[in-house]
A and B are shown apart, each in its own frame.
Chain A
Amino acid sequence: MTNELVDFTLVSVALLGIGIYGLAVKRNFIRMLFAVEIIINAANLNIVAFGRYLSHAAGESLALFSIAIAAAEVGVGLSLIIVAYRMYQNVDIADFRSLKG
């Protein structure tokens, strides 16, 4: 059981690393959104694994909350991206440079 927990946590940490790498390297807005989603799902995996290890139902319910909220967040994010795409005809973060100081 404990070994299983370690496996899950290792996968979760790997996903966290992939997410941070994606945020640092990619310049396409949708890819960066994906990277954030990967981090959220790494956390969800963690929560479910811990919940199973501790045999609690609280973990699963927390993971469900977080999945639902992440879905709402992505909905808002994609709609913002669509509006920006209509204006700039692309979603490259390097093109969003009208605000600087």
Chain B
Amino acid sequence: MLEITSTPLVLIAILGTVGVALPIISIARKEKGSNSFYAVIAFAALIVSMGYVGYQFVSDHVVPSALFSEDVLVDDAFGGFFALALLIVAVFTTVGSFNYMRRHNSPAVYYSLILLSTIGMVLVAYSTDLVMLFVAWELMSIPTYVLVGFMKRNPSSNEAALKYFLFGALSSAVIVYGISLSYGLTGSTNIGEVIRGYAALDPSLYPLALLSVGMFIAGFGFKMGLVPFHQWLPDTYEGAPPTITALLAAATKKAGFAATIRIVVMGTVALNVDWTLALGILAVMTMTVGNVAAIMQKNISRMLAYSSIAHAGYILIGLAVAPHSSLGLQGSLYQILNHAVMKGAAFIAIAGIVTTLAVTHIDKLKGLGRRMPITSLGIVISLFALAGVPPLAGFWSKVLLFGSALDASATLGWASWLAIAGVLNSALSLAYYGWITRKMYFEGEKEKRVKEPKSVIGVMVFSMIFLVGFGVYPEPILQFVEFATPVLSLGLMP
């Protein structure tokens, strides 16, 4: 049994109470505005939760990454790692909304939905039972459908929400079907039992087991934006409010990866089938399609949406080579944390630009370096970190990822091609990141500086310190990632 003070339960208590209380407070106060009042409450709840996760780590209450447990939730380092990354993004979104939501109605509902969705994401990372995972998955998804369509009178927000909803509902339908098959084959919904059941499966039932793992990949792949399942993603990221796009790109996507690592990677190890090739092809397709499409974009949100598809591909390299190299999952986890900070910061910066200048077209960003110096610097540092330029944090995670592919090539001949594809793609991505930078700093008339929103400056400063600081001195994060990475072997079974 889980203790009552274990991290997931305490997080449910804090975030759930505040999330449910916010709309009630707003009804009791009988007023509509006062965005910052609710934002401060939500911010405080998120910071307290982050503090609790951190405290659990520092006080050694966290067990090393287990992946399996007899319970439905496990308080392990893997879940804690994801909880920290996801809470950072939720804090970014809340802080960015201080400014963004000022002109919009019903802030209480907005922040409440962000908190509820955050609980869902965190629980996805902690869950070790398929039923729990499915419930958490839906708790994460359903609030985001509403949040994407939050600007009711804006046609593009509506359209984004409808497309996102349709694909999201399809992805959960596919996941339930996968769960039904794996339950039927193994007679249990506990992930550990399911994996053990797969390992001992009658070979004549293998096709069904493969079908269920394939359905999990497809279902989670919709949220992660892997390439055959990515059509909704650019539209949704462009049409949604940019603060919510930050939440989608940096957080719900990562929860998808957490679920994939918990189920698919272990499932493929148990089935003893070589899925490395399938995942490797998916990875290369995802990053190539993402980067090539990003070059042609004129809208900065849409460009970053395609770049986040490409990044799903980089992260997938680590998952693909995980059975052959212990560095694979470490690289993926490190890249997940970095990507959460980089993409979160970039989209919050866009939210700041949208509220002050109301532009998203890249040609209109000319001279932004003089008009909004701190925001532009934040964007540029995030973009170069996304491209993996040393000495920023994004460099080390890419080194780890591509290094893991080279490491795996000792037992898996073609794995080094993954590293080559990754390096070529990073070089390609530098082209469009550099293009934005050129527009912002070297083009345009001399224009006056405009006032930048303070909350956006806060996010920018935090992300710059994170990306540059851990880029120059990556040691603590590397140790943390190593501690949080689960060891892949069937001997860990309960």
* Residues of chain A at the chain B interface (Cβ within 8 Å): 12, 16, 19, 23, 29, 32-33, 36-37, 39-40, 42-44, 46-47, 49-51, 53-54, 56, 58-59, 61-62, 65-66, 69, 72-73, 76-77, 80-81, 83-84, 87-88, 93, 96, 98-101
A32 contacts which of B149, B166, B177, B188 (Cβ < 8 Å)?
A: B166
> Are A99 and B239 in contact, CB atoms less than 8 angstroms apart?
yes
Known: A65-B131, A77-B169. A58 touches B188 (CB 8 A): yes
Nearest CB of B to A74, in Å: 8
Total number of residue pairs linking A and B with CB closer than 8 Å: 124
B296 on the A face (CB < 8 A): yes
Q: Among B138-146, B364-372, B456-464, B480-488, which stretch is in contact with chain A?
A: B138-146
Q: Which residues of B contact A50 (CB under 8 A)?
A: 180, 183-184
A46 contacts which of B142, B172, B180 (Cβ < 8 Å)?
A: B180
Known: A80-B145, A80-B162. A47 touches B179 (CB 8 A): yes
B158 on the A face (CB < 8 A): yes
B179 contacts which of A62, A72, A80 (Cβ < 8 Å)?
A: A62
> Are B155 and A76 in contact, CB atoms less than 8 angstroms apart?
no
> Are A98 and B156 in contact, CB atoms less than 8 angstroms apart?
yes
Known: A43-B179, A50-B184, A87-B155. 13 other contacts (CB 8 A): A23-B170, A43-B173, A47-B180, A49-B184, A61-B131, A65-B134, A80-B162, A87-B153, A88-B155, A96-B162, A96-B163, A101-B293, A101-B298
Nearest CB of A to B182, in Å: 10
Best-surrounded residue of B145, B149, B184, B297 (most CB of chain A within 10 A) = B184
A43 contacts which of B138, B180, B297 (Cβ < 8 Å)?
A: B180
Q: Which residues of B contact A98 (CB under 8 A)?
A: 155-156, 159, 239
Nearest CB of A to B474, in Å: 35
What separation, in Å, do the CA atoms of A39 and B171 have in the docked complex?
A: 10
> Are B181 and A46 in contact, CB atoms less than 8 angstroms apart?
yes
> Are B239 and A80 in contact, CB atoms less than 8 angstroms apart?
no
* Closest A-B pairs by Cβ, 8 of them: A50-B184, A46-B180, A43-B176, A39-B173, A43-B177, A99-B235, A96-B159, A47-B180
What separation, in Å, do the CA atoms of A75 and B419 have in the docked complex?
A: 45
> Are B166 and A72 in contact, CB atoms less than 8 angstroms apart?
no
What separation, in Å, do the CA atoms of A49 and B130 have in the docked complex?
A: 18
Q: Which residues of A contact B302 (CB under 8 A)?
A: 101
Q: Which residues of A contact B296 (CB under 8 A)?
A: 101
Known: A43-B173, A84-B159, A101-B299. A77 touches B165 (CB 8 A): yes
B318 on the A face (CB < 8 A): no
Nearest CB of B to A90, in Å: 12
